[in-house]
Amino acid sequence: MRVGIGHDLHRLRPGGPLRIGGIDIPHDREAIGHSDGDSLLHAVIDALLGAAALGDVGQMFPDTDPANRGRDSTEMLAAALEAVAALGWKIVNIDCIIFVQRPKLLTHRLSIRQRLADILGIDLERVGLQAKTGEGIGSIGLEKAVAAQCVVLLGERDEG
């Protein structure tokens, strides 16, 4: 078994939608990033790569590579998952937290979980997701940033 943790933070600017977990959520702000700025998927990538001792999202997808400009983070996550699987690991479960003041994510929670499950090729019940506000303080609470954390548990892949 291997455990990995991932964290990511992106500044917000006027615009929209806000991309979280591969889902475009209607909002008056959007994340600023070299790729599509999906902090949740970036945290999942870091957790996967960390658990498999493969580095982090910046090493696998450097912002110095023009190919990563505006890149869809779902493609990046699929590539990271492939690298982890090549070492003989599979996802047992993931648990994630999104930190954003607005929008409220309760109505989007199931679709984000399902999108993660689909990308990762795991059952929905293996994907945990919570959302937290910044209680009106700090970069999250003042709506200047969105952040995410993720923990992943990997197990050895069955060879059968």
Q: What whole-number percentage of the chain has pLDDT above 70? A: 99
Kindly report, residue by residue over 20-77, the tens digit of the pLDDT. 999 999 999 999 988 899 999 999 999 999 999 999 999 999 888 888 788 899 999 9
CA 76 to chain centre: 10
Angle at 44 between CA 40 and CA 50, to 5 degrees: 140
CATH number at residue 124: 3.30.1330.50
Q: CB of 49 within 8 A of CB of 56?
A: yes
> What is the per-residue pLDDT for 65?
86
DSSP state of 106: G
Kindly write down the DSSP assignment for every residue of 52-81, as one continuous string: TT---HHHHS-TTSGGGTT--HHHHHHHHH
At 132, the pLDDT band (50, 70, 90 cuts) reads very high
In this predicted structure, the answer to whether residue 160 has a pLDDT above a threshold of 60 is no
Integer Cα distance of 9 and 40 in angstroms? 9
Would the pTM of this model clear 0.75, i.e. be above it? yes
Determine the residue type at 46: D
> What is the per-residue pLDDT for 81?
98
Question: In the predicted model, what is the mean pLDDT of residues 146-154?
Answer: 98
- Number of separate domains in the chain: 1
> What is the per-residue pLDDT for 44?
98
Range of the domain at 60: 2-156
Q: CB of 123 within 8 A of CB of 117?
A: yes
